Structure 1
C-alpha cells in the first residue's frame, strides 16, 4: 500500500511517498481503507524536533505520521461488535501514541472510531476528529448555560469547534480573532469577536467563567486575569504549566490546567450526534491530494488556517 513517510526530523521536504506493507489487525481492531486525513499542529510541529519525534513515535525511522482518518471498514477483528464490512467510519486513532494515519490502510481499535453520520462526506467527517475531540473534552462538564466563555483563536481548528460546542451548551461565547475572520466566527455562533491585532482582550473583558486557550504564553497569563473569582482556564499548550501562571491563579481563587486529548469512541459518537443534528459543522479550509502531503503540511505551518486542512485519497 501507499503511505507517506517521514525519513528524519525536519521540514515537509522530508516527507515522501512509498510502498509499505499493509497492516494486520488485532482482535479488537478494524482495517480502514482511508479516504480522507485531517492535519493538525500536532502532526506538523513534532517533525522538526528529533527528541519529540522519538518520544511520540520511537527511535526507528522512517515513521508514518498522523491520527485522524475517515474511510471504509475492509476487515473486522473477531472481538469487534460495533462495526461490519463496508461501514463508513471516522476517528482519531491511538492518540496519544502512534496512529500511522498517512496511509491507504490503517489498523484502528474499535474503541477509537464511530460510524459516520448519513449525508456527511469523508472530508467533513475527518475534519471532526482531533480538533473537535479536543474542544469537546475541554468543555464537557466545565461550562453551564449562561456562562461567559472565552475561546482563544476562534477561527482555528480547535477554536471553531469550541465556539459551536460552547454555544450548544448554552454559553455566551466570546472569541479572539483577526478582523478578516470576524464574520466567520460570528456566523458559527460567537456572540462577540475581539480583533486581537487592535485590542487587548484583557483590557476589555472581565468576569469570564471559563477560557479555552490554544496559545499559551502571555495569552494564557492574560486569560487567567480576565476570569471571575472561581473561574477556570484550560490550555492545550505545553505539558508543564509555568509556575508564575499557576501561582497567579491560586492567589485569585481561579484554576488553570492543561489537557491532552485522548482517543474515545464515546466522545466520537457524541460528535457524530452533533454533526447529525447540526450543532456543529466543520469548516474545511483547503483540501490536498495524498501525493501533496508536504504542501498540506506547509499550509498548516503558516498558522493562518481557518478551520481544517484535509488530505484526500
Structure 2
C-alpha cells in the first residue's frame, strides 16, 4: 500500500463505522456505532484504492439484501457495515492504480455482497471503477450517482433514440429522478408517474407529461394513447396489470424493464405466464446494474454540464444514520438520502 501523501497524517488502523451483526427485525434496529472498528485495506492489492468516505447515499438494497438473513450471512462475515454509494478522498492506492492519486476526490459505488460498506470512515474499492469528481460538482451530489444513476443510464442508453417516447412508472425515487433526466439528455419525450406532492418536481426535471397516479387511472390513460412508447421503465410494480397491458402502449418488440417490485411472486408470474393465458406481450427484463467506470463518468460529466442534477430528499449527519434508514424504509423519500461520514478536506 502506498503511504500517505507528503504533509498528511498517517492512516489509522481503526475507524468509525456503523456495524451490524444481525438484521433480525430490520437493519435499522440492529446497526450500532463503533469508533474502533478495524479498518479495511491494511494491505492493498495492486488494483485497490483506500478511500476516506466523505458522504454516502442510501439505496433499498442496503437493507433488503442483508435482511435476507442466513443466506446473506453465509457469504458475508460480521460485524459488517451497510452502504454502497460513496464519495470521498483517496487515502492510499495499490501499486497498479494509475487513474487516481492520493488526495483526489472520487465517487463510485461498492457491489454486494460486502462486509465493509460505505457507512464507515474508510472503504476499499477497485481502482478501475471510481471516477474523479468533476470540478463544480458537490460531493453530496456525487455520492448519489453510483447505483441509481448507473441503473437509469444502463436501462435507457442504447435502447432509445432522439424523439422516442419513454414511460417511467415511479419517477420520484432515486432511479426515476435520474431516468427522467437521462432520457431527456438523450433527446426523448418522457411521461412519468408520481403522487400529487411530486408532480412539480418531475416537471422541473424535464418530464413532458406527469401522471398523478392518485387521480389518474394510469393504465387507462396509456391505453388511450395507443402503442406510442419505445421503453417502459417500471420502478414500483404497480398497478398489477401494467405489464399485462403493455402491448397497448409499447411499440412492438419494445422493452418493459422492471427495476423495483415489492412482490417476488408477482415478478415470477409476469415472467412465466404465457401470452395466450393473459401474460404480457412485450419483452420483459428484470434490471440489475453493472458497476462501470465509463457510466459513472458520463453521469459525472452531465452533472458538471448541468444536464443532470442530483435531487436530495434529506441529509443526515453520521450520528443520525439510524434515522436515515428509517426514512428510507418509510418509502416517502423523493430523491436520495445522504449521510455525512467525514469532513471534506480543506
Fold shared by both chains (TM-score > 0.5): yes
Residue from 61, 81, 92 that aligns with 1:42: 61
User: Is the contact between residue 157 and residue 307 of structure 1 (CA under 8 Å) also seen in structure 2?
Assistant: yes
Quick one: structure 1 residues 164 and 59, their matched pair in 2 at CA, closer, same or farther if it must change by over 3 Å? Answer: closer
Q: 1:196 to 1:252 in 2, by over 3 A?
A: closer
Task: Give unpaired runs (5+ residues) of structure 2.
Answer: 1-14, 342-346
Aligned to 1:272: 300
Instruction: Give the drift of 1:266.
Output: 1.5
Counterpart position of 1:33 = 52
Query: 1:97 offset after TM fit, Å?
Result: 3.0
Indicate the SS of the match to 1:242.
Answer: helix
Q: Give the CA deviation at 1:30.
A: 0.9
For residues 293 and 170 of structure 1, the distance between their equivalents in structure 2, rounded to whole angstroms, comes to 38
Match of 1:121 in 2: 138
Match of 2:84 in 1: 67
Among 217, 220, 231, the residue aligned to 2:254: 231
The reply on whether 1:3 has 2:26 as its aligned counterpart is no
The alpha carbon displacement at 1:251 in A equals 7.4
What are the equivalent positions in structure 2 for 1:68-217 lying under 5 Å apart?
A: 68-93=85-110, 95-98=111-114, 100-205=117-222, 206-207=226-227, 208-216=229-237
| Aligned length, in residue pairs | 310
Distance 1:73 1:152 in 2: 38
1:31–1:108 CA contact under 8 A, matched in 2: yes
Whose helix proportion is higher, 1 or 2? 1
Deviation at 1:7, TM superposition (A): 2.0
Of the two, which has the highest radius of gyration? 2
CA distance in 1, matches of 2:144, 2:233: 20
Q: What is the distance in 2 between the residues matched to 1:244 and 1:116?
A: 40
Tell me the CA shift for residue 252 of structure 1: 6.8
Cα contact 1:96–1:262 (8 A) shared by 2: no
CA contact (8 A) 1:223 1:233 kept: no
Partner of 1:255: 283
Shift of residue 60, structure 1, vs aligned partner: 3.1
Instruction: Give the direction of change, closer, same or farther, for the CA distance of 1:129–1:290 in structure 2 (3 Å limit).
Output: same
Deviations 1:204-242 (A, max 9, x none): 113222111111261652563432222211112468842
**Which blocks of at least 5 consecutive residues in structure 1 are unaligned?**
none
Residues 3/298 of structure 1: CA separation in 2 closer, same or farther (3 Å cut): same
Residue pair 1:287, 1:309 contacting (<8 A) in 2 also: yes
